[in-house]
Chain A
Amino acid sequence: MKLNSLKISLFIIITLSITLIISGLLVYKNFVGFLGAWNQSNKMNIYLKVDTTESERNKLIAFIKKQKSVSSAELVDRNKAGLNFQSSLKEFSSGLVTMDELIDLIPESIEVDLENSLSLQERDQAFAALAQSVQEQPLVEEINYGATWIKKFEKIDQVFRSAGIFAFLVLLVSISYLVALMVRIYIDDSKQEIEIYSLIGATRWSIYQLFLKDVFIFLCVSLVVSFVVLFAAFTYIKSKLVTSGLAETFIENMSFLSFNEITFVVFMLFVFIYVNCFLTIQSSVNRLNQISNE
């Protein structure tokens, strides 16, 4: 394949377009992951009544562990709860309340966590179902799992997901049209080539193939270049964030696209860009497939 300025421009536009789409997906994935990180750290607290016996508590813990999606259920006694409270207030609590006073104030509780694989909605539903089955138990005083916050996050999550999918589709369609437009310019520039091939008896399919082959090579090389460049940029940014010590939870959850996601992106890009290019090539070749007087 001989390169000319138009072919190079076509390659650059395809590469930049693909990079734009993949980087958009990467930002979207990690932003949604950031919301999910808060979701995963959220736990249910089942506060117990005063004067419960150890066997009653163990029975309740065993009952909770049997419930669907529960990954752990641990007793937080007064001493542990007091220490947690003190550590969360840190220096502000020093001398304010003594440990004995704190222990008297804080009830015993069971801290329940769910499986990490659950989505925000699934987690909310699992917590609600668990709360319903546990609240009838005689030793339960109060249940708290941040239901109001989960609902708010659910709405934000839904808005971001819908906006993300919409933006992805808009970007994909506009980019495939932009690439198709470039392909059209490239074919129009090869007008005489089409005319000559047609004159010497090349079938329409073999003329399409001349251009389809170029677009296929550009698309493959562009995909490889885009993924390599973005992976390098992603690794660099992540390492910089790690050394800066900022937002640890977010950095821990930062990840590049998975194999399934890459397969999906490559499939979508091929379907949209290649099909659109094929239709453009077909219509342009049919239009130019004649003898001109030029």
Chain B
Amino acid sequence: MIEFKHVYKTYGADRHTLRDISFNINKGEFVFLTGPSGAGKTTLFKLISAYEKISSGEVFVLGHSLAKLKKGQIPFLRRKIGFVLQNYKLLKNKTVYENVELPLVILDVAQKEREQRVTEMLRQVGLETVKDQYPDYLSGGEQQRVAIARALIHEPEIIIADEPTGNLDPELSKTILNLFFEFSKKGVTFLVATHDYRLIDKQKCRLLKVDNGQLVEDAVV
């Protein structure tokens, strides 16, 4: 599903952000990515989502070699990935419903089907009562759930979550993570970057640890 082979990413002549990274994530796996700030977690995500190009090595995402991927194919790859980011990235001038509906609009899904899927997704994340509200009027936890609903609505094969619980209290973090595990059971592959070791400790799952641009640990904890 996601495969890194001796990947290097450098900015400029000698600033190495990633050094010789190799790992393989299979379909349906739930993987935590951890490491200190500036270790290279976000760069890794940017490589997977084709926002950045690798300097050397090979990255395969859903069978595509990112080095060989043409510019015009990138959006179509991103449609198979759902993104949940720490700062939510919601459109402030659209309602909760419209935000969640957006990926289906891009995919040109029929209006009636969109309505059914959005309503069901909002029910699953517990936001059906606030569907007509604008993101600015929601709490941090609610906004993050909108972002999760938007990431999952088009049934992506991979979910990339960068510090999804960074702005949330422990109770809400647990709720969000449980939501992730529910979808993981349905076969969605999760790659979740977090600093929050309390979350990892409570779960039995795979952990990738990066430090100073290198993969220092790949284990099931």
Contacts and interface: CB of A to CB of B under 8 A. Distances in A.
A, B co-complexed: yes
Interface of A: 2, 4, 192-193, 195-204, 206, 290-291, 293-294
B42 to A, nearest CB: 8
B75 A192 contact: no
B78 A201 contact: yes
Range class of the B interface residue count: 20 to 34
B150 interface: yes
Given A291-B46, A294-B87, A199 B78 contact: yes
A200 B91 contact: no
Contacts of B78: 198-201
A290 to B, nearest CB: 5
B91 A201 contact: no
A290 B43 CA distance: 12
A2 B93 contact: yes
Given A4-B93, A197-B106, A201-B79, 12 more contacts: A193-B91, A195-B89, A197-B102, A200-B78, A200-B103, A200-B106, A201-B103, A201-B106, A206-B106, A291-B42, A291-B51, A293-B87
A196 B89 contact: yes
Contacts of B83: 199-200
B72 interface: yes
A2 B93 CA distance: 8
B85 interface: yes
Interface centre among A2, A193, A199, A200 (most CB of B within 10 A): A200
A132 B34 CA distance: 98
A196 B87 contact: no
B137 interface: no
A175 B93 CA distance: 30
20 contacts: A192-B92, A193-B91, A196-B90, A196-B91, A197-B102, A199-B78, A200-B102, A201-B76, A201-B103, A201-B107, A202-B106, A204-B75, A206-B106, A291-B45, A291-B46, A291-B49, A291-B85, A293-B42, A293-B87, A294-B87
B75, B103, B107 interface centre (most CB from chain A within 10 Å): B75
A199 B89 contact: yes
With most chain B CB atoms within 10 A of its CB, the pick from A201, A202, A204, A293 is A201
Contacts of B90: 196
Contacts of B79: 200-201
Interface string B60-104: 000000000000100111110001010101111100000000110
B93 A196 contact: no
A199 B80 CA distance: 11
Contacts of B51: 290-291
Contacts of A290: 51
A294 to B, nearest CB: 7
Closest 4 CB pairs of A and B: A201-B79, A201-B78, A200-B103, A203-B75
Nearest to A290: B51
A2 B94 CA distance: 10
